[in-house]
Amino acid sequence: MSSGPRVLAIANQKGGVGKTTTAVNLATALAACKKRVLIIDMDPQGNASTGLGVAPDRRARSIYHVLMDGTPVKDVVIETAVPGMAVVPSGVDLSGAELELVNADRREYRLRDGLESLFGDYDYVLIDCPPALGLLTLNAFVASDAVLVPLQAEFYALEGLSHLLRTVERVKRGLNPKLEIQGIVLTMFDRRNNLCDMVAEDVRKHLGDVVYETMIPRNVRVSEAPSHGKPVLLYDMKCAGSQSYIRLAGEILRREKGSAVPGSGIPHSS
Ligand code: ADP
Ligand code: MG
């Protein structure tokens, strides 16, 4: 039996590619598979917190206090409407943390230190990263076992990805030797759009097995759910978006049971 949770950073420095949607709904699908899951909202925008129905007045104690005051993660956890799934909310002050961390002690290890209090409480911790490769995302990478990358199926999909993968490599060499790539998931896929097909084919050709077979379709129910403060799996379990996140969770669990994703196959062209 392994002991600590498996910690996954959901990261891509591009905004609007489906990080938050993937964090919230993959977490829900994992919880539906009887896994105990914690989502950490590391984005000052707080979209994951909002999307899970955590009102701003319940964010007085947030991930900010973990990063800046050394508050144990355990003390800022909020249960969600999904059984077995909890969230550590973002807070308004988090936007300042990026700068405040610059002169802090152990500035890249703050989140990892805070997570130590969780030992044994969760099977998975999913960290919803902000759209940047600054100190907040670096804290997520140092605290994680692996990085899961949502990639929007669009013309510029691969642009920026090599920078992200190089950053992961750099963290692996310096700050966190165990860090690996969990996988890449294509999001907002539209099968009526030929360009989407071409991009998906191109991404698979370049990156191989590290790209999940499951693709997340563009689906209006997925985009409606956050305004109801719910994961799409609670809002409309039968819709194509919900079903795709259930498949993604299944694929991730199957791969973890087998061997690790062959991350060595990732090219590092710039
Ligand atoms: P990020 O966290 O990377 O900035 P989000 O997950 O917030 O991206 O997604 C950006 C926007 O796209 C949001 O409005 C979200 O509701 C919408 N969206 C994400 N995934 C889908 C999808 N599969 N189908 C339709 N809309 C989506
Ligand atoms: Mg987001």
Q: Which domains does the chain have, with CATH numbers?
A: 6-260 (3.40.50.300)
Select from 19, 75, 76 the least CA-distant residue to 48: 19
Q: What is the mean pLDDT of residues 95-118?
A: 94
Q: Which atom of ligand 1 is nearest to the CA of 218?
A: 24
The finding on whether 241 has its CB within 6 A of some atom of ligand 1 is: yes
Dist. CA 129 → ligand 2 center (Å): 7
**ipTM, interface predicted TM-score of the complex:** 0.99
Indicate if the pLDDT at residue 237 is higher than 50. Answer: yes
Q: Which atom of ligand 1 is nearest to the CA of 216?
A: 23
Indicate the range of 48-62, 85-99, 149-163 predicted with least confidence. Answer: 149-163
Dist. CA 43 → ligand 2 center (Å): 7
Q: Who has greater pLDDT, 112 or 263?
A: 112
Confidence band (pLDDT; 50, 70, 90) for 270?
Answer: very low
Indicate if the pLDDT at residue 269 is higher than 80. Answer: no
Confidence band (pLDDT; 50, 70, 90) for 2?
Answer: low
φ, ψ at 78 (rounded to 5°): -120, 130
Average pLDDT over the chain, rounded to whole? 92
Confidence band (pLDDT; 50, 70, 90) for 175?
Answer: very high
Q: Which residue(s) pair with 181 in the sheet?
A: 147
The finding on whether 47 has its CB within 6 A of some atom of ligand 1 is: yes
Q: What is the mean pLDDT of residues 210-229?
A: 97
Q: What is the mean pLDDT of residues 142-149?
A: 98
Q: Which residue(s) pair with 217 in the sheet?
A: 189
pLDDT at position 71, please?
Answer: 93
The finding on whether 27 has its CB within 6 A of some atom of ligand 1 is: no
pLDDT at position 3, please?
Answer: 72
